[in-house]
Amino acid sequence: MPIDIATNLSTIQQRIDRACQRSGRDPHQVALIAVSKKKPADLITQAAAAGQPLFGESYVQEFIDKQQQISTPIRWHFIGALQSNKVKYLRGTTELIHSVDRYSLAKEINKQWASIDQTANILIQVNVGAEQSKAGATAENVEELVRRIATLPNVKIQGLMALPPYDDDLEQVRPWFRQLRQLAQQIDDLHIPQVSMNTLSMGMSHDFEIAIEEGATLIRVGTAIFGERE
């Protein structure tokens, strides 16, 4: 059966609305990122036609290739692991880079965006579960990293992102989301110049409702919109 992207999107929006209702939040404070990695450009066009304005990609080459095939104006976030030598290909194409976890990467982003006289919006990725297999600053060194990156003139930190340990039991995931929100609050309380902690990118297909209850402002949903990936 072909997937019905418009129906999937409206089902997810209803679930977002209910999660907001449960937690006393305004649904306008939660933006859905349609994660389209490994999905063809025509599905992205379909989702855009169904009213979805914002998409997330994880692989630089794939992103650039698909972007060229899509004429609909849409907004892109980059959410995947990023090597410094690929940053130049993203220059000026993305509204937000979610996955900055080291100074050297931020420095390269700063250089590339400076060359077009723009400022890149970024999030600091935090490895909340301190998992070996995952990227991200540790909760312990995130403050120092934020302070260093904040000195770069063409990069603006907007908040934090995390990909917590997977668990079938969503109540086991909740504390990780809460920890990210608390970390953002702690950093916000430091009033570091040029640093905003208004954006919390957390929650995926299986756990986005819990993430919303814990304060997510951006949720990154792929499978629940586009179906399983190859």
Amino acid, single-letter form, for residue 99: S
Q: How many CA atoms lie within 13 A of 3 on its CB side?
A: 17
Residue from 72, 142, 68, 53 nearest 106 by CA: 142
Residue from 140, 158, 167 nearest 200 by CA: 158
Q: Which is nearer to ligand PLP, 47 or 152 (CB)?
A: 47
Q: Which is nearer to ligand PLP, 152 or 162 (CB)?
A: 162
Q: Which is nearer to ligand PLP, 25 or 220 (CB)?
A: 220
Q: Which is nearer to ligand PLP, 80 or 165 (CB)?
A: 80
Q: Which is nearer to ligand PLP, 148 or 229 (CB)?
A: 229
In the three-class reduction of DSSP (H, G, I as helix; E, B as strand; rest coil), residue 187 is classed as: helix
Q: Are 187 and 147 spatial neighbours (Cβ–Cβ below 8 Å)?
A: no
Q: Which residues bind ligand PLP (CB under 6 A)?
A: 35, 37, 58, 79-80, 163, 204-205, 220-224
Q: Which residue is nearest to ligand PLP (CB)?
A: 222
Please give the helix or strand (H or E) that residue 108 lies within, else none.
Answer: helix 103-114
Q: Which is nearer to ligand PLP, 146 or 216 (CB)?
A: 216
Nearest-approach distance from CB 153 to ligand PLP, in angstroms: 27
Nearest-approach distance from CB 130 to ligand PLP, in angstroms: 17
Nearest-approach distance from CB 189 to ligand PLP, in angstroms: 27
Nearest-approach distance from CB 204 to ligand PLP, in angstroms: 4
Nearest-approach distance from CB 174 to ligand PLP, in angstroms: 17
Residue from 82, 20, 13, 79 nearest 50 by CA: 13
14 backbone φψ class: left, alpha, beta (φ>0; ψ -120 to 50): alpha
Rounded distance between C-alpha atoms, residue 187 and residue 221, angstroms: 26
Residue from 226, 206, 229, 204 nearest 48 by CA: 226
Nearest-approach distance from CB 128 to ligand PLP, in angstroms: 13
